[in-house]
């Protein structure tokens, strides 16, 4: 299992247009949808009848630069296949960009049903070499880039619910195995992705009253990032063999979570890789002891060691030896 973000991905998805399919009539926003996982998600939603807002800032693998080309190409690809899509090229890690993202869906299609937060990039360093700018940049695009669109969309859905138009709204956030277990050389990315899991749980609890379900995925796929970092395990297979690391393998679950068919599923984290889907079970109370009074330090240490002897060993951090 490896960590990921949305990056370059090959292979398209047939668009079924807006006439039928699991997401017929729904309007879906996908951030970071110009390449890799986000592109695969956008195409898959369109193939199930959704109208799609394709967001991408068009930055490089490290977040530098910017271009409207990737978002527009994916929107054009959906349109050429008979679907309906518009491009949005704003920075969703800003208040203005998040507001314009939701406004684009409402202005173009009159509604918003599903938000897929996927945008991100990597700046990997070992902790002792990780500068503050690299920390801030990764936290900004991943964590703030999830929070701001989620907050804006949630405000819209709350207003709809209070007006008597209860939505069947869905949010799918993009976490990572790095956020669940940690990943050597990815302290900033791991912290951001762990924060996304926490944000998902809180949002699911707070927004359920307004008809909003919030879940997260921790996917593994071949993208611009993973091809560079995990060249051997992410290599494409010979022609004709199942491509286990294709981004398109992740999208079916995302589409289902983003549809009305996922009714009742919220506050969950799923690992998704190749043909495997796993429900991740987070922190739960393990062995415990209660002295009833304050511990002395040596006694507390002895109790901790006895509890650890009874506890499950943690899974290793990715990349640890």
Residues β-bridged to residue 28: 52, 114
Strand order in the sheet with 51-55: 84-88, 51-55, 27-30, 114-117, 169-174, 212-220, 269-273, 276-280
Q: What kind and span of H or E run contains 84? A: strand 84-88
189 is catalytic: yes
Using alpha carbons, select from 35, 77, 89 the residue that is nearest to residue 224.
Answer: 35
251 is catalytic: no
67 is catalytic: no
* CA–CA separation, 196 and 236 (whole Å): 29
* CA–CA separation, 266 and 284 (whole Å): 18
Residues 6+ apart with CB under 8 A from 247: 6, 9, 36, 37, 39, 40, 221, 222, 223
Read off the tokens for 105: 């869906």
CB-count burial class (<10 Å; 0-12, 13-18, 19+) for 198 = middle
Q: 115-133 b/e with 16+ CB inside 10 Å = b?
A: bbbbbbbbbbbeeeebeee
Q: Select which of 15, 51, 189, 210 is catalytic.
A: 189
Q: Select which of 15, 51, 100, 176 is catalytic.
A: 176
Q: Select which of 15, 183, 190, 193 is catalytic.
A: 193
Cite the active site residues: 176, 189, 193
């Amino acid at each position: 299992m490896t960590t990921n973000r949305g990056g370059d991905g090959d292979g398209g998805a047939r668009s079924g247009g807006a006439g039928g399919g699991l997401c017929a009539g729904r309007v879906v926003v996908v951030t970071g949808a110009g390449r890799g996982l986000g592109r695969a998600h956008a195409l898959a939603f369109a193939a199930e009848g959704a109208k799609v807002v394709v967001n991408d800032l068009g930055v490089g693998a490290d977040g530098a630069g910017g271009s409207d080309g990737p978002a527009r190409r994916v929107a054009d690809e959906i349109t050429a296949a008979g679907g309906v899509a518009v491009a949005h090229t704003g920075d969703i890690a800003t208040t203005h960009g998040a507001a314009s993202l939701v406004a684009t869906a409402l202005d173009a299609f009159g509604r918003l049903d599903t938000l897929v937060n996927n945008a991100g990039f990597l700046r990997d360093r070992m902790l002792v070499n990780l500068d503050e700018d690299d920390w801030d940049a990764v936290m900004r695009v991943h964590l703030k880039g999830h929070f701001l669109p989620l907050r804006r969309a949630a405000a819209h859905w709350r207003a709809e619910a209070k007006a008597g138009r209860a939505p069947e709204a869905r949010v799918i956030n993009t976490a990572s195995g790095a956020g669940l277990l940690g990943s050597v050389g990815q302290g900033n990315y791991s912290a951001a992705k762990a924060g996304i899991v926490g944000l998902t749980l809180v949002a699911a609890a707070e927004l359920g009253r307004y008809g909003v379900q919030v879940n997260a995925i921790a996917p593994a796929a071949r993208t611009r990032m993973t091809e560079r970092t995990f060249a051997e395990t992410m290599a494409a297979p010979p022609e004709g063999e199942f491509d286990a690391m294709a981004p398109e393998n992740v999208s079916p679950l995302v589409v289902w979570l983003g549809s009305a068919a996922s009714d009742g599923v919220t506050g969950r984290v799923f690992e998704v890789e190749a043909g495997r889907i796993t429900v991740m079970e987070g922190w739960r109370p393990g062995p415990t002891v209660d002295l009833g009074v304050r511990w002395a330090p040596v006694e507390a240490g002895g109790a901790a060691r006895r509890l650890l002897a009874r506890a499950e060993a943690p899974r290793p951090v990715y990349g640890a030896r």
